[in-house]
Structure 1
Amino acid sequence: MTFLGIDIGTSGVKALLIDASGKALGEATAAAVEPTRPHPGWSEQNPQDWWAATLAAIDKLHQSHPQALAAVKGIGLSGHMHGATLLGANDEVLRPCILWNDGRSAAECAEMEAALPSLRDIAGNIAMAGFTAPKMAWVRKHEPEIFKKLKKVLLPKAYVRLLLTGEHVEDMSDAAGTLWLDVAKRDWSDELLAVTGLTREHMPRLVEGSQSSGQLKADYAARWGMTGPVIVAGGAGDNAAAACGIGAIRPGEGFVSLGTSGVLFVSNAKFSPNTNGAVHAFCHAIPNTWHQMGVVLSATDSLNWLARITGKKQAALAGEAEAQFNGPGGEIFLPYLSGERTPHNAPKARGSFVGLSQSSDTAQMAQAVMEGVAFAMRDSQRVLADAGTNISRLLAVGGGTRSALWLKLLATNLNMEIGLPADGDFGGALGAARLGLCAATGASPAEVMTMPPVKTVIAPDTKLSAAYSEQYERYRALFPAIEEIRQ
């Protein structure tokens, strides 16, 4: 008996096979066509690209691990959140999906909150341009002919589920990021839906991430050599799936993700919003559990940007910064290249370098970029604490964790030890596969979703704590001053 996790990203799809003990048996990836940006601040993608990449990834597993794939009894799905996939009659895709990093609907966010003053109380979150509901408000206003044809709105992984099973279903963690969910009640909110001119008829059926959402269609089971019913779990949004993969499902357990975007994630026993700090308060992928996130839109993407404009590789820049590091530098970087969520909720904010001099070089600029991202994570920690949250255990994941300096900067600025897991894949695909295992076998998530062994613990550098606290205060003062000038 084996289980399959499918992680649907904007750049591609990863498929991971595990056995009943959770051991990875094989994996495959397939690239998707990159998102397009028809106008500044827009980000769109053809949903068919996710489907093509999903089929390609599983077909690769069928070639490389045919027996293990044939033994699959449960499938879990993970996917990028917030995307508005609009379906008409016969599940026809009406337009390209408006993605999580699309900022066009800032005006609609303000209009929604004005129309329903209790919005934040029900949703537990601020109306942000990244969420799904404001995108639909934009479509309703600017593309009324498409809106009239609308029958269903699905998130990206729910669209892939539809093609795998024929069912319109979404899990609680992904649904919480739409701004249509009453997050405390774990149910659609008629009031929130009405603000965007929608009803429950436009929404998929809700299930918990570790529950069954349907069965794999017979033709796909035959395509991959599977026999008997194959259960497809509710699955999870990408960050909740990563938490299931890393084992952060108990209160106080969390992870810091240094990926393209950055996330400070912590699991909660109860719904704990802090809308004043732009904290994301969502349902977790398992029953009776919630989580909070601070989200930084440009984490390693900030260093990618610097690499692109300097003509150097990201790893080379990180190495240069580490080689000359001796504490906070004179340069400060605000990592708001694509706007920011936590704590500012400012989709139109932009990045800045401050303190450049004739002696500034690429090594010092790279250090400032890495410090800026660490300060952004410190911002997230601060507003999570304002919501009464204490993080008891923190693991680090993502490509940025390959930099020892970046990990040191995070530990020092968060003032807590950070564990680096032993080598292995603990991301969304593993979390999805674990959810598929639970749905197919009835196994307890607490028993399945354990934390991995830790190979290294990064401790704060207490000798630098005071200096970084001073630098952090300078960093905090820059955002309101620069944004006031930009208005």
Structure 2
Amino acid sequence: MSDPLVIAVDSSTSATKAVVVDKSGQVLSTGKADIDLLTPGMDMYEHDPVQWWESTETAISQACAALSDADRQRIKALCITHQRESFALVDEDGGALRPAILWLDSRAGDEIKEYGSDHIHELSGKPADTTPALYKIAWLKKHEPEVLTSAHKLVDVHAYLAHHLVGRWVSAVGSADTLNLLDIANVDYSDELLDIAGVTREQMAELAQSASIIDTIKKELTDSWGIPGDVVLVAGVGDGQAAGLGTSAIDEDVAYVNIG
């Protein structure tokens, strides 16, 4: 059989999973590696971003190792889905300047009260809540300003993994929008929201349309996975959007329930 295969990566709160699928959605192999949850204080939840990549590389290696040589030759693309709203601050080499702050972290109650409004909801598409990253970035602006201003990039999980995979700081629109920093009507970063967060446009990852091809994955990686040909990175979406797609909840009058 010569139909192409895809590596689907889900980097979530507790683990990263890799699944190799064919064009019909049939699963040929899987891999999984855990991620440690850090709790430095009340209502604070963090990750070491290094584990985002280490767990991804391990999960992909496991999934590829479970395939035959012939099936590894069929792998043509890799796509990322991930825990939404979580973000990391990195230097020019990609090193983390502090632990990543996660979507479930609720330290920014004061910032939600200060900046949350109907206007921000309409601009970004996100109601004032503990989940969107905007308010936690604003918390850093108040409590850790030196780290925020010195960061080369502020990135979601997609952009962090893409940098390891293809050497570029790039996220999918369907991933980066969960940071609550995009003007959703114009599908671009909002200067107003960036100002609230205390970051600049230059500190943000470039944006790629979901389902577009970003670049070719580094050959040293595909070689280590036993894949002989080129593999492209396809821009993905956050895990919630992916779940909606997977359940065909894509029409305005269709909803799905996610309990976990």
TM-score, with normalisation over the residues of structure 1? 0.50
Larger relative contact order (CA 8 Å, sep ≥ 6): 2
Count of aligned positions: 256
Amino acid in the other structure paired with 1:102: D
Question: 1:27 aligned to 30, 38, 50, which one?
Answer: 30
Match runs of 1:61-76 below 5 Å = 61-67=63-69, 68-76=71-79
Tell me the residue number matched to 2:103: 100
Tell me the residue number matched to 1:257: 258
Aligned equivalents of 1:251, 1:112: Cα separation in 2: 29
**Deviation of 1:192 (Å):** 1.1
Identity %: 30
Runs of 4+ in 1 over 6 A off after TM superposition: none
Tell me the residue number matched to 2:47: 45
Decide whether aligned partners of structure 1 residues 29 and 192 sit closer, same or farther in structure 2, where only a CA change above 3 A counts: same
Amino acid in the other structure paired with 1:82: E
Aligned equivalents of 1:251, 1:69: Cα separation in 2: 39
Deviations, residues 234-278 of structure 1 (Å, cap 9, x unaligned): 11101111122223334433321222xxxxxxxxxxxxxxxxxxx
Tell me the residue number matched to 2:198: 197
Aligned equivalents of 1:213, 1:110: Cα separation in 2: 38
CA contact (8 A) 2:65 2:225 kept: no
TM-score, with normalisation over the residues of structure 2? 0.92
Aligned equivalents of 1:149, 1:92: Cα separation in 2: 12
**Deviation of 1:46 (Å):** 0.4
Aligned equivalents of 1:246, 1:120: Cα separation in 2: 26
Question: 1:3 aligned to 6, 10, 21, which one?
Answer: 6
Aligned equivalents of 2:249, 2:54: Cα separation in 1: 31
**Deviation of 1:5 (Å):** 0.1
Q: Between Structure 1 and Structure 2, whose CA radius of gyration is higher?
A: 1
Amino acid in the other structure paired with 2:111: E
Are 1:121 and 2:122 matched, yes or no?
yes
CA contact (8 A) 1:84 1:154 kept: yes
RMSD, aligned α-carbons: 1.7
Match runs of 1:119-198 below 5 Å = 119-198=120-199
Aligned equivalents of 2:200, 2:147: Cα separation in 1: 16
- More helix as a share of residues: 1
Amino acid in the other structure paired with 1:28: G
Aligned equivalents of 1:66, 1:160: Cα separation in 2: 26
Question: 1:111 aligned to 97, 106, 114, which one?
Answer: 114
Tell me the residue number matched to 1:445: none
Tell me the residue number matched to 2:213: 212
Amino acid in the other structure paired with 1:48: V
SS at match of 1:177: helix
Aligned equivalents of 1:26, 1:251: Cα separation in 2: 34
CA contact (8 A) 1:127 1:179 kept: no
SS at match of 1:234: strand
SS at match of 2:255: strand
Deviations, residues 326-370 of structure 1 (Å, cap 9, x unaligned): xxxxxxxxxxxxxxxxxxxxxxxxxxxxxxxxxxxxxxxxxxxxx
Aligned equivalents of 1:110, 1:175: Cα separation in 2: 23
Match runs of 1:88-487 below 5 Å = 88-113=91-116, 118-259=119-260
CA contact (8 A) 2:141 2:148 kept: yes
Tell me the residue number matched to 1:54: 56
Aligned equivalents of 2:216, 2:254: Cα separation in 1: 32
Amino acid in the other structure paired with 2:244: A
Aligned equivalents of 1:26, 1:162: Cα separation in 2: 25
SS at match of 2:222: helix
CA contact (8 A) 2:82 2:239 kept: yes
Identify which range, 40-49 or 139-148, moves more after superposition. Answer: 139-148
Amino acid in the other structure paired with 2:44: W
Aligned equivalents of 2:116, 2:35: Cα separation in 1: 35
Aligned equivalents of 2:158, 2:111: Cα separation in 1: 25
